[in-house]
């Protein structure tokens, strides 16, 4: 016995008996049902490995389609095979759309039906294995597109792992360039929607009239230039994930339509009269404070709460400077491969400057700076002078020359900042990382010293 169970749904007793004989000889356990109602009852009570159903049962010409719809809604992992003596290409296509794994015409050969059942069960086992693999992957929290080993990034990864398999909407908060789309893609990769599309759109980069059409689609003639029907991104992302970047820039009129989609799970194309059901997970992102915007009437409060069910905050690069060396090596290698040039080493002087710079544009700015440096470098080692001028200003000044003002001038704030950082590091090294002793050595109160540690992201040291 192979312990696999098959449910045959047909009102012809002779067909049920024939399939029972064929399949029991192959080791299957076979149950039968004479109508859709009884089939649904049996499927609700027991787990079957495959269902074989006739298209026409009694006077109902579409009974099989009705059962397929029920299976799709209530027993999605159970494969179904449609059989009929009144088949056509159209009904075969419709059956496959309704979720049937295969289609067979009566009369059929014994070997043919055995092959279809074997194939359907194999498909079910593959789906089960794939789902288990994804759950295990999500449990491990492996997000291959995110670089960094700092504690703040581990916290982000842990959150991604926790929410990936949930159906809830997710709002990603963070400054521009922190990698919000990478987080959205990571969530999609670890979810059970990974085989379906991941669709992204920047809500702030498209005019209002075009954004509505892009999101919801339009019908022919609904506006000037609408020369044919067009599916929107919600329809394109059906079954998958739609990433709405810069959601804070979405016009109020479209916020109303988006709220309806979240509540009713349907979209209505521009100029259309009928709604289209969709199954899409929404992940949004913004660099603005939507809560404040909602309080000020700039963003719908009800939409904010619907989007912000699970918030994820991304740290700016200046708060995860321990990750800069990893990011530098990643971007350098990537740009070298893209430009088809040998690997480029990064000097310690360059790395010191990159660690010191505050990175207002975050990881995106770092990637762009390194692309420029790789493109301009003529040597095997990247030099400080191949960095942009605004970043070269962060080359640490020599302390003995700080009172000499160069003819071309200097950046006083950077100069003072670098001097403070250098002296604080020296004080910590001299006092075995003791905050109290280091503060005394620099003539600072412990509170002022802790403020500077936080300001320059120099760690916590020892409080004693």
- Residues with Cβ within 8 Å of residue 457, at least 6 apart in sequence: 318, 319, 321
Fold match, 5-133 / 151-315: yes
Q: DSSP letters of 373-435?
A: HHHH--SSEE-GGGS-HHHHTTSPPPGGGTTS--TT---HHHHHHHHHHHHHHHHHHHTTTBH
What is the C-alpha end-to-end distance of the chain, expressed in Å?
72
318-392, what's its fold? Helicase, Ruva Protein; domain 3 (1.10.8)
Classified as helix, coil or strand, 383 is coil
231 has pLDDT over 60: yes
Give the model's pLDDT for residue 159. Answer: 92
138 has pLDDT over 70: no
Evaluate whether the domain defined by 399-455 bears CATH number 1.10.3470.
no
Classified as helix, coil or strand, 57 is strand
Encoded tokens for 382: 């990247």
What whole-number distance in Å separates Cα of residue 270 and Cα of residue 294?
26
Give the model's pLDDT for residue 144. Answer: 58
What whole-number distance in Å separates Cα of residue 257 and Cα of residue 270?
11
379 has pLDDT over 70: yes
Evaluate whether the domain defined by 151-315 bears CATH number 3.40.50.300.
yes
- pLDDT interval class at 132 (50, 70, 90): low
- Per-residue pLDDT averaged across 71-80, rounded? 85
Q: Where are the domains of the chain?
A: 5-133, 151-315, 318-392, 399-455
DSSP character for 218? B
- Per-residue pLDDT averaged across 194-218, rounded? 90
Give the model's pLDDT for residue 39. Answer: 92
5-133, what's its fold? Rossmann fold (3.40.50)
Give the model's pLDDT for residue 141. Answer: 43
What whole-number distance in Å separates Cα of residue 13 and Cα of residue 58?
12
437 has pLDDT over 50: yes
Cis check: omega of the bond before 240, within 30 degrees of 0: no
- Per-residue pLDDT averaged across 168-172, rounded? 96
399 has pLDDT over 60: no
- pLDDT interval class at 324 (50, 70, 90): very high
């Amino acid at each position: 016995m192979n312990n696999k169970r098959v449910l045959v749904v047909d009102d012809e007793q002779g067909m049920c008996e024939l399939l029972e004989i064929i399949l029991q000889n192959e080791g299957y356990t076979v149950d039968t049902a004479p109508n859709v109602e009884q089939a649904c009852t049996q499927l609700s009570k027991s787990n079957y490995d495959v269902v074989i159903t006739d298209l026409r049962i009694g006077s109902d010409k579409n009974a099989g389609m009705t059962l397929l719809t029920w299976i799709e809604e209530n027993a999605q992992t159970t494969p179904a095979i449609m059989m009929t003596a009144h088949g056509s290409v159209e009904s075969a296509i419709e059956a496959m759309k309704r979720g049937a794994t295969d289609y067979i015409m009566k009369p059929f050969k014994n070997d043919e039906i055995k092959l279809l059942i074997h194939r359907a069960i194999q498909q079910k086992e593959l789906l089960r294995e794939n789902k288990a693999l994804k759950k295990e992957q999500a449990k491990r929290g492996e997000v291959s597109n995110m670089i960094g080993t700092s504690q703040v990034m581990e916290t982000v990864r842990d959150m991604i792992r926790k929410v990936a398999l949930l159906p809830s909407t997710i709002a990603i908060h963070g400054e521009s360039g922190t990698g919000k789309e990478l987080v959205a893609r990571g969530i999609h990769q670890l979810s059970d929607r990974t085989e379906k599309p991941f669709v992204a759109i920047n809500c702030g980069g498209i005019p209002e009239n075009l954004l509505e059409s892009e999101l919801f689609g339009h019908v022919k003639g609904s506006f000037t230039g609408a020369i044919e029907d067009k599916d929107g991104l919600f329809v394109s992302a059906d079954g998958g994930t739609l990433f709405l970047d810069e959601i804070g820039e979405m016009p109020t009129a479209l916020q109303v339509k988006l709220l309806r989609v979240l509540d009713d799970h349907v979209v209505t194309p521009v100029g259309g009269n009928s709604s289209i059901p969709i199954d899409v997970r929404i992940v949004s992102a913004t660099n603005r404070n939507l809560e404040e915007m909602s309080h000020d009437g700039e963003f719908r409060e009800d939409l904010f709460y619907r989007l912000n069910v699970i918030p994820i905050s991304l740290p700016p690069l200046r708060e995860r400077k321990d990750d800069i060396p990893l990011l530098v090596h990643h971007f350098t290698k990537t740009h070298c491969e893209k430009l088809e040039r040998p690997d480029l080493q990064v000097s310690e002087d360059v790395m010191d400057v990159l660690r010191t710079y505050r990175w207002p544009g975050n990881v995106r700015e770092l990637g762009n700076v390194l692309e420029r440096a790789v493109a301009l470098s003529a040597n095997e080692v990247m030099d400080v002078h191949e960095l942009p001028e605004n970043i070269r200003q962060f080359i640490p000044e020599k302390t003995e020359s700080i009172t000499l003002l160069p003819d071309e001038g200097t950046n006083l704030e950077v100069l003072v900042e670098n001097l403070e950082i250098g002296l604080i590091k020296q004080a910590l090294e001299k006092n075995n990382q003791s905050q109290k002793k280091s503060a005394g050595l620099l003539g600072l109160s412990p509170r002022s010293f802790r403020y500077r540690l936080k300001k320059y992201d120099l760690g916590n040291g020892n409080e004693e």
